[in-house]
């Protein structure tokens, strides 16, 4: 979750504030060697930063037998380590402790089988040559290993990261962004190359795109990502990669998305969108001139005493319609979809009956999102920002490595169990 235009300013306030598939019995073809990138074809200027693909390896399929659809069949419920390794200023800068093996075990034992790790990179890189600090690469490797040790799927991305990509999906910045995208992913992919198919890479987070021209620019960033990862070889020649829709918004993705990146191997790509609808219920922290906060979602949970706080749009019907769009556009075409973020803030600033109605409504929302997502082939990852205060979304007390919000955890698990 980051700082998108319009709603983005409000979203930043929230900051302080994924059936089993068997391994393939067929041997995939050896990937082709990707063609050199070039600025005019979604590539990068090769001279802006050094070439960090200094130790390419032959393609290695060991532990990489599952394709994207088989991996998608494995992922049932995912969790975000939010506001931590993407935090501006360092891992603990936004109030969460360093990620520990005990936390990862708690997440696994609580019923999740996938973890998304939002990550910053640019603040750890030399701005002259885009060289990522070795100590940070080591730390990321360490946290990924914690997840792999618990037999979890892991999704590693470039998150908001100061907005160098996310806020610059423009023709003016296209070459510069592609150059850094290539340099960063060559280094990330090389460092994490030996992990098996449990590790997935994601190109970006919420790239700000509003029109067809920007969409074409974004597709070059995704193509650069795919090319940079594949050229490092080894297990990365077969790794499942995830590309984000415009602003990871479902309607924009349905309207603007034209094609997946060209890959050197078939069936190893996924798409990603996020879901925070309706905004007044999930993220809005105070009333505005254009509208009021919603406390109660789902008709069965509407209030008779505070009808102005009932969600008047974004109900169950809209939710199912939105997820069905992604099913038709991607899932039915053989492209799995990651629902990389969703959650509704916990309004514990309310009191009495209003508080209980809100909490029950919020639990219903989370259960409904998970079940509807899975029924449409979307893989849900709950956004947990770590905060236990009002107007936040933490499930786990990360200081004590204990469950804090049992009601939300139970709702997520109930949604997963209700889906086929």
Which residues are tagged catalytic?
A: 206, 341
Provide the sign of the torsion angle of the four alpha carbons 99, 102, 105, 110, taken in this order. negative
Residue 54 CB neighbours (<10 A): 10
> DSSP 3-state assignment of 346?
strand
Taking the C-alpha atoms of residue 216 and residue 213, their distance in angstroms, rounded to an integer, is 5
Q: Answer yes or no: are the C-beta atoms of 371 and 319 closer than 8 Å.
A: no
Taking the C-alpha atoms of residue 21 and residue 35, their distance in angstroms, rounded to an integer, is 32
Reply yes or no: is the peptide bond before residue 278 cis, omega within 30 of 0: yes
**Secondary structure element (H or E) that encloses residue 212, with its range:** helix 212-231
**Secondary structure element (H or E) that encloses residue 365, with its range:** helix 352-375
Orientation of helix 212-231 relative to helix 174-191, angle to 10°: 30
Instruction: Give long-range contacts, CB 8 A cutoff, 24+ apart: 297-305.
Output: 297/344, 297/361, 297/362, 297/364, 297/365, 298/361, 298/364, 298/365, 298/368, 300/364, 301/357, 301/360, 301/361, 301/364, 303/354, 303/357, 305/353, 305/354
> DSSP 3-state assignment of 14?
helix
Taking the C-alpha atoms of residue 219 and residue 217, their distance in angstroms, rounded to an integer, is 5
- Beta strand ranges found along 179-321 (DSSP E): 199-202, 233-234, 241-244, 269-275
Taking the C-alpha atoms of residue 89 and residue 13, their distance in angstroms, rounded to an integer, is 17
């Amino acid at each position: 979750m980051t700082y998108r235009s319009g709603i983005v300013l409000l979203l930043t306030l929230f900051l302080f504030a994924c059936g089993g598939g068997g391994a393939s019995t067929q041997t995939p073809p050896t990937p082709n060697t990707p063609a050199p990138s070039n600025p005019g074809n979604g590539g990068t200027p090769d001279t802006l930063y050094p070439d960090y693909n200094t130790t390419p390896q032959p393609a290695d399929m060991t532990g990489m037998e599952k394709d994207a659809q088989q991996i998608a069949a494995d992922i049932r419920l995912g969790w975000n380590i939010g506001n931590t390794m993407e935090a501006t200023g360092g891992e603990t800068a936004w109030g969460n402790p360093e990620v520990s093996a005990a936390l990862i075990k708690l997440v696994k034992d609580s019923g999740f089988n996938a973890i998304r790790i939002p990550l910053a990179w640019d603040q750890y890189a030399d701005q002259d040559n885009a060289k990522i600090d070795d100590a940070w690469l080591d730390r990321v490797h360490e946290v990924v290993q914690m997840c792999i040790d618990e037999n979890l799927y892991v999704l590693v991305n470039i998150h908001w990261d100061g907005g160098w990509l996310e806020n610059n999906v423009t023709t003016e910045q296209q070459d510069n962004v592609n150059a850094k995208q290539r340099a960063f992913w060559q280094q990330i992919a090389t460092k994490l190359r030996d992990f098996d198919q449990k590790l997935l890479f994601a190109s970006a987070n919420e790239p700000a795109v509003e029109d067809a021209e920007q969409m074409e620019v974004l597709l070059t960033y995704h193509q650069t990502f795919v090319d940079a990862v594949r050229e490092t070889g080894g297990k990365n020649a077969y790794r499942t990669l995830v590309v984000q829709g415009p602003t990871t918004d479902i309607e924009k993705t349905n309207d603007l998305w034209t094609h997946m990146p060209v890959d050197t191997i078939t069936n190893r790509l996924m798409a990603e969108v996020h879901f925070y609808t309706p905004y007044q219920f999930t993220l809005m922290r105070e009333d505005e001139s254009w509208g009021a906060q919603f406390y109660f979602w789902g008709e069965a949970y509407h209030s008779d005493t505070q009808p102005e706080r009932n969600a008047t749009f974004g109900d169950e019907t809209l939710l199912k319609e939105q997820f069905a769009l992604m099913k038709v556009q991607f899932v039915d075409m053989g492209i799995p979809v990651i629902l990389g973020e969703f959650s509704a803030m916990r309004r514990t600033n309310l009191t009495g009956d209003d508080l209980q109605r809100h909490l029950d409504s919020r639990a219903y929302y989370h259960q409904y999102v998970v079940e509807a997502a899975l029924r449409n082939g979307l893989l849900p990852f709950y956004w947990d920002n770590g905060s236990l205060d009002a107007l936040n979304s933490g499930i786990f007390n990360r200081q004590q490595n204990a469950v804090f919000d049992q009601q939300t955890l139970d709702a997520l698990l109930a949604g997963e169990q209700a889906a086929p």
